[in-house]
Amino acid sequence: MRILVVEDDEIAAEYVRKGLMEAGHVVDLAGDGELGLEMAKAADYDALVLDRMLPKRDGLSMLAAMREDGDATPVLILSALGEVDHRIEGLRAGGDDYLAKPYSFAELLARVEAIGRRSDPTAAVTKLKVGDLEMDLLARTVTRADENILLQPREFRLLECLMRNAGRVVTRTMLLEKVWDYHFDPQTNVIDVHISRLRSKIDKEFDTQLLHTVRGAGYRLQT
């Protein structure tokens, strides 16, 4: 997806930008509401991440202007104002979702991708496929070349993360957040151990290797 992040805190904006790009998205940044509105009008975005408290024009004012112009781009509002009344105000102003600070990047990513899918109903996914490897998200089953592969719950989550990002590098930071809900590096080999177990199940008995290590970066699932 192409995503516009409107955030005046440079450190927070760069953190979000980096994480979204690692997840395979294209990201533009704006540091105030006026610039954000100009950029939103000038390009077609799949989703916006919009801070509520911005210089020059606040986030809800920017959002209202977008909606008045007929811009239906899905918007995730970020704010330190997390009370119920504040969330209701943001949603009634035209926001599609509201995330209070401080937040976990894994949750932000999930919410952005969810509102992006919501804008395109055909994008809902219940099955994932990479080569002859298939995952049924509803039945919670995995097969390769029509052979059933039994995975532990954590292995299933790990493979799902890799399959959703097929062809792209999935960093260790992304795996820690998405699969283990860690928001810090525990300085253990937990990822290496699970990757090794997963590789032995989905690759060992097959001629084509799907799970690749990208040295110094992370892992990539591809044919």
Class of residue 144 by CB neighbours under 10 A (exposed 0-12, middle 13-18, buried 19+): buried
Amino acid found at 14: E
The first and second tokens of residue 155, run together, are 């292995």
Of 123, 122, 129, the C-alpha closest to 159 is 129
The first and second tokens of residue 117, run together, are 């899918």
Is residue 197 within 8 Å of 157, Cβ to Cβ?
Answer: no
Q: What is the pLDDT of residue 183?
A: 73
pLDDT tens sequence across 171-209 = 988 898 888 878 777 778 999 999 999 999 999 989 999
The first and second tokens of residue 32, run together, are 């105030």
Cα–Cα distance list, 48 to 109, 127, 195, 211 (Å): 12, 27, 33, 32
Q: Which domains does the chain have, with CATH numbers?
A: 2-122 (3.40.50.2300), 127-221 (1.10.10.10)
Contacts of 41 (CB under 8 A, 6+ apart): 69, 71
Confidence class of residue 122 from pLDDT cuts 50, 70 and 90?
very low
Q: What is the pTM of this model?
A: 0.53
The first and second tokens of residue 209, run together, are 């290797």
